[in-house]
Amino acid sequence: MTGSYPGAQAAAYGPVAARAGTPSGPAAKDTEGPVKTLDGLMKALAAEHAAVFAYALIAARATGARKAAATAAYNAHRGRRDQLRGLIRARGGTPAEPEASYALPFTPRDSTEGARLAALVEDGVTAVYLELAACDDPATRRTAALAMQEAAARAYGFRPTIAALPGFPGPDPEATATTPGPTATLSTPSTPSTTATPS
Amino acid sequence: MLARGGALGAVGAFATVALAGCGGPDDADDAPAEPRRPDPETELLRSLVAGKAETVALYSAAIAAGETPGEELRPYLERHQAHLTELKRRLPPGVAAPTGAATPTTATPAPSASPHPSGSPSATPSGQAVSLSRLRQVERESAAARAEQLQSASPALAQLLASIGACEAAHAVALARLS
């Protein structure tokens, strides 16, 4: 079965405040309650599964410093994935297993495309953790916030632009990216042609 | 019916508590209203606004000093200003934002600018040079503080703090490339 990549999940779930149309304001505060912690953890785990899948492809096609960065990111996401599995089990839940493959925006053919995909993956992971940051468990909020910080820092390593409010809907970061390469089409993800199997 | 009775009972209990606080029937109307306890969320917001205003002032001072080209630091300043705007927007109507630190042309922090117990930037005397390493330290400490501050916030404010912290963490990484 094919899963969706983290960005697609973020679009489906959306941040609490963003659903109110703005990243701030009384309307968002008053109309949106906390996210159920277990639900948020499950979604975050799905995003981490997809990120691990994507980075397996990215690392395989990268060279030099980007390969090292992709490998480090792959290991970091595996670490978060395992942490989330533990948190879900601690709450009596059953962690979902990864899908066999994930629908990525595109399949990277080289290091440059891999960097573009990596930045998009980190954007998606950031958005999913943003939802978890609104959960009803303070310790889990902290975990989500730290995961967002790591993801935003990694994204900068692959695409040297910074959003004022990572995770919230905003201008396409690639529109102002200094990294060369064509603009990604986030809204029309292609069907993956590769089915690499991350560990 | 049972639920209704419970609700009425609760109202009665509240009335009893409220009356117990009055001095008597004669002075009940004239007694000055007790100052309401500040809303924790509002207090948190005021603290956050003060801390972010300090960061804005710090970047303004760094750009004014000219040690690092302003064009390179200005996007950082603008993102912090965006954070400040978002935080101020969440203050309830009638609640004044802390003043004194957000003037873009000064590095002088607010006199009362220590309401951020979790690692927000400390004061920098006016005129003192602001190094890139100092800015990096502020970004790192601010990001670390967000992961604590969001724990007691409302869900929507928690998300804003998580997002601001992510931006600050990316700033810390990016500033290293400028030095």
Give B34-56 pLDDT, tens digit per residue.
667 789 999 999 999 999 999 99
Length of chain A, in residues? 199
Q: Which of A101, A93, A115, A105 is nearest to A44 (CA)?
A: A93
Domain count, chain B: 1
- Letter string b/e over residues A154-178, b meaning 16 or more CB atoms within 10 A of that residue's CB: bbbbbbebbbbbbbbeeeebbeebe
What is d(CA A143, CA A44) in angstroms, rounded to the nearest whole number?
11
Average pLDDT over residues B92-97: 82
Average pLDDT over residues B96-108: 52
Minimal C-alpha gap between B22 and chain A (Å): 32
Examine the pLDDT at B142 and tell me if it is beyond 70. yes
Minimal C-alpha gap between B114 and chain A (Å): 23
Q: Report the CATH number at residue B120.
A: 1.20.1260
Distance in angstroms between the alpha carbons of the first and the last residue of chain B:
71
List all residues 6 or more positions away from B98 whose beta carbon is below 8 Å from its beta carbon.
B46, B49, B50, B53, B110, B112, B113, B115
R_g (Cα) of chain B, nearest Å: 22
What is d(CA A106, CA B160) in angstroms, rounded to the nearest whole number?
30
Q: Which residues of A touch B165 (CB under 8 A)?
A: 145, 148-149
Q: Is residue B28 part of a domain?
A: no
Average pLDDT over residues A84-95: 97
Examine the pLDDT at A174 and tell me if it is beyond 70. no
Examine the pLDDT at B3 and tell me if it is beyond 80. no
Report yes or no: A159 at the B interface, CB cutoff 8 Å: no
Q: Test B172 with A164 for CB contact under 8 angstroms.
A: no
Length of chain B, in residues? 179
Examine the pLDDT at B107 and tell me if it is beyond 80. no
Tens-digit pLDDT profile for residues A119-143:
999 999 999 999 999 999 999 999 9
B115: Cα within 13 Å, side-chain hemisphere: 20
Q: Provide the pLDDT for residue B56.
A: 98
What confidence category does residue B33 fall into, taking pLDDT thresholds of 50, 70 and 90?
low
Examine the pLDDT at B6 and tell me if it is beyond 60. no
Tens-digit pLDDT profile for residues B117-126:
333 444 454 5
Closest CB to B160 among A24, A139, A141: A24
A2-21+31-176, what's its fold?
A: Ferritin (1.20.1260)
